[in-house]
Amino acid sequence: MKISVAYIASTALCTTYRRSLSHHSINKVTSLRFTSYRKTVNMHSITAAFKPDASGAPPKQLEYIPSLKLSDGHEIPMLGYGLGTANYKTGADKGKFNQKVVDDTAMAIKAGYFHLDGAESYGNEEELGAAIKKAGVPRDKLFVTTKTNCKQGESIETAFVRSLEKLGLDYVDLYLIHRPFWAKSPAEQQAKWAEMEAIKESGRAKSIGVSNYLQEHLEPILQTAKHPPVINQIEYHPYLQHGGLLDFHKQHKIAVAAYGPLTAVTKAKPGSCDAIYDQLAKKYGVTEGDIALRWCLDQGIVTLTTSGNEQRLQGYMRKIPSFKLTPKEVEDIAEAGKQKHFRGFYTTNYGPDDRR
């Protein structure tokens, strides 16, 4: 059998690459997961020039979950691991260190979730920092978010320094104002946003944004902002689509991040989306949870989930890149969702029929 010189050169190159990969990574499994998750340019694909951005354009089907380019040029992985909900500390637990949160979060990082969404109000920034150390993934390969509550009488600077100390980090990739309800006037919103801009300009937060804001909360900020919010993290699922808010985001190049994307298959069952979720799960050979997450991603929305189940997290990372909903399927889910209204968070701030 004849072996060409080109074949020998190709084999040698592959061997060198594998050795290099092994040498420069924590382990082969984590390295390959990282490559699959964070890679944003595939030079051997017709999709090489494609990058999702804040325009809301749906990502193309790729063999990995892409990152989304924010309006300030930074990139955010489109699937993230949230430390709220099940990991949220309440009552007497607030002052106690929770090793399970550390273990679950480190497990998620090792499963390929390098976008980590935290907040001071979750009470577990210290655990998030410990999980980052335990997982051993280099800091520059992670995307870390935390949020401020805007406590009365406290500056953003004070809150931010405290968060960095608990996280054990020199900077975060994204810093958010967690909710707008503390402000008594548009002027207060504008003043706090100026403090956020100072944090960004210091380099200790690469990007800044908001969470749980409606158009009426965003408009005052946009009137005076030197650095507009790059993202708004909101509860988003078929039963809470927020009317024209997403169109407003697109007009102002504000990306959307969804928390609670699994609500229609968990908290809000039975509901008008049950049948279509079941139908599509069977069609694509995936779970209803996969369909729920894909529905958000296929709208160009950064999507957050959480679980202490390693198999489930690995399943999302493996299955979600393997299929893509058609535009009609995305619209069919949206239309089915409009037949029911369900809000899982901040229910005391809105009326029972308020769908904003």
Cα-only R_g, the chain: 21
Active-site hit among 81, 113, 178, 277 = 178
Reported as a pLDDT band with limits 50, 70 and 90, residue 49 is: very low
Across all residues in the chain, what is the average pLDDT?
A: 86
The pLDDT of residue 220 is: 96
The pLDDT of residue 349 is: 79
Reported as a pLDDT band with limits 50, 70 and 90, residue 15 is: very low
Q: State yes or no: pLDDT of 246 exceeds 80.
A: yes
The pLDDT of residue 157 is: 98
Reported as a pLDDT band with limits 50, 70 and 90, residue 94 is: confident
252 is catalytic: no
178 is catalytic: yes
145-174: string of b/e by CB count within 10 Å (b at 16+)? bbbbebeeeeebeebbeebbebbebeebbb
Q: State yes or no: pLDDT of 115 exceeds 90.
A: yes
**161/8: higher pLDDT:** 161
**How do residues 133-182 score in pLDDT, each as one tens digit?**
999 999 999 999 999 999 989 999 999 999 999 999 999 999 999 999 99
pTM of the model: 0.83
Reported as a pLDDT band with limits 50, 70 and 90, residue 7 is: very low
The pLDDT of residue 22 is: 39
**37/331: higher pLDDT:** 331
Active-site hit among 37, 81, 113, 122 = 122
